[in-house]
Amino acid sequence: MHMTPPPFARFEWMIAWRYLRAKRVEGGVSVMTWISLIGIILAVFALIATLAVRAGFRAEFVDTILGANAHVSIYTSRYVDSQGQITRGFSNAVQVADNLRAVAGVLRAAPGIKDQAMVTANGRNLGAQVFGMSQENLASLPRIGQGADAKGDLAQFASGIAIGQGIAQELGLLVGDKLRLIAPDGVKTAFGTSPRVKSYPVVYIFSAGRYDIDHTRVYLPFTEAQSFFNREGIADEIEVMVSLPDQIDQYADALQAAAGGDVLLWTWKDGASSFLRALKMEDNVMFIILSILVLIATMNIVSGLIMLVKNKGRDIGILRTMGLSEGAVMRIFFICGAATGLIGTVLGVLLGCFFALYIDPIFALVDYLSGGEAWDASVRGIYALPAKLLWQDVASAVGLSLGLSFVVTLFPARRAARLNPVEALRYE
């Protein structure tokens, strides 16, 4: 009893492999196969490397934000206090902070003071954003506290002031120098409110790596900030840090409930929303452009298969007369094209992952071989090229390359299957 062999039978793979081996250069088939393979390797490599660098820059940007700012800042709406004055802030900040720390995933909840003042030294003036914070909470900020790029002794914070590197440069300050703070809403007298002026020794100079932080931010001890800005017994906000800042939205309801009352939440994504949207749009455009490169590379497979079908016309005619079905012929040539795409994708992924993981040594080697002219950081302003390899990026590159390779292979494979065996043998 005659039995039809199953699809992708062993003999189909054997025939496809013999065609791919290309011991003889027939009409440029072997050359086209190598061109297709190299094109796919380079296209997939470029896609993965570019996506990794993009992810690295985004991670670096987010790290500079999260390293010096709260993941969530919790405020109160305006309310009328016991003296009939409209005010805002937490009079029970310690209790609220304890409630927030009890929320799952919350790492830190710190009451703080936030206001603006003028800083002056050496005859120069700057506007600054003043944060009132305890020494313990300040030390826990990754890019400002312990372990950060800083000068001075944070242990002396209770008796002084901490400033950004940009402010120190603008005002010509070193650790130990005096910095004067001027607040417009200061001392209340019979003649009205007069500015409050007070000098503090600079005990700590930090560098967070962001211009808008290093050139504008000043830290005062929490109790001192309460006194300086007339906030006795009040905290302006409570700064919260969570374990998964990228998923900050999922904490909103729990934090709202824990804080109680009419509170407002301002997340780090709210502050950087426009920049994050710009990064997302850039990512999409970049992926589309690089996808076109992958498409161009896979089109070489079509050229190679068309030439292969033309050169193997006699073989196809003989196989068909021996009883080989159209489906079997189609699968043979599909295997030829798909194998090229698969091998190219695998090698491209390996090359791209290697580049992303060892980007610093690679650029160091290139710079060394070129005599230090290839990557002059002082000119570019970028001293390290960050790269972060994400499995989503690798998966998208693999899916795109294999998907395009398989789809474009179908057309020449179908053409080979529909080849009339009589016509194929007649003109040979």
Q: Does a structural domain hold residue 63?
A: no
- Inter-CA distances, 254 with 9, 113, 237, 262, Å: 58, 23, 17, 14
> At residue 358, what is the residue type?
Y
What φ, ψ does residue 110 adopt, rounded to 5°?
-125, 120
For residue 381, the model assigns a pLDDT of 47
Residue 92 lies inside a defined structural domain of this protein: yes
Residues with Cβ within 8 Å of 151's Cβ and at least 6 positions away in sequence, in order, are 175, 204, 205
Write the pLDDT tens digit of every residue in 310-336: 766 666 667 666 666 667 777 777 888
In a domain, 10, yes or no: no
Indicate whether 123 belongs to any domain: yes
pLDDT of residue 1: 42
Q: Which whole-number Å values give the CA distances from 284 to 75, 289, 290, in the listed order?
A: 35, 9, 10
Close Cβ partners of 154 (under 8 Å, ≥ 6 residues apart): 135, 138, 139, 145, 146, 162, 203, 204
Within a domain: residue 41?
Answer: no
> Distance (Å, rounded) from C-alpha 225 to C-alpha 275?
32
Strands 72-76 and 237-242 come out as antiparallel
How far apart (Å, rounded) are the C-alpha atoms in residues 207 and 401? 43
Provide the pLDDT for residue 376: 60
Q: Which residues pair with 346 in a beta bridge?
A: none
CB 333 within 8 A of CB 16: yes
pLDDT at res. 378:
53
- Tell me whether residue 258 is in a domain: yes
Nearest to 357 by CA among 390, 401, 318: 390
Q: What pLDDT is attached to residue 298?
A: 84
Residue 179 covered by a domain: yes
Q: Where in the sequence is the domain holding 168, given as residue range(s)? A: 70-269
Residue of 291, 322, 283, 271 whose CA lies nearest to 69? 271
Number of domains in the chain: 1
pLDDT for the residue numbered 161: 93
How far apart, in whole angstroms, are the C-alpha atoms of residue 345 and residue 355? 15
Q: Compute the distance between CA of residue 413 and CA of residue 407 in angstroms, rounded to an integer.
A: 10
Res 27: pLDDT: 47
pLDDT of the residue at 346: 93
Contact between residue 410 and residue 334 where contact means Cβ atoms under 8 Å apart: yes
- Cα(288)–Cα(17) distance, rounded to whole angstroms? 33
Ranges in the chain, pLDDT < 50: 1-2, 25, 27-28, 380-381, 427
247 located within any domain: yes
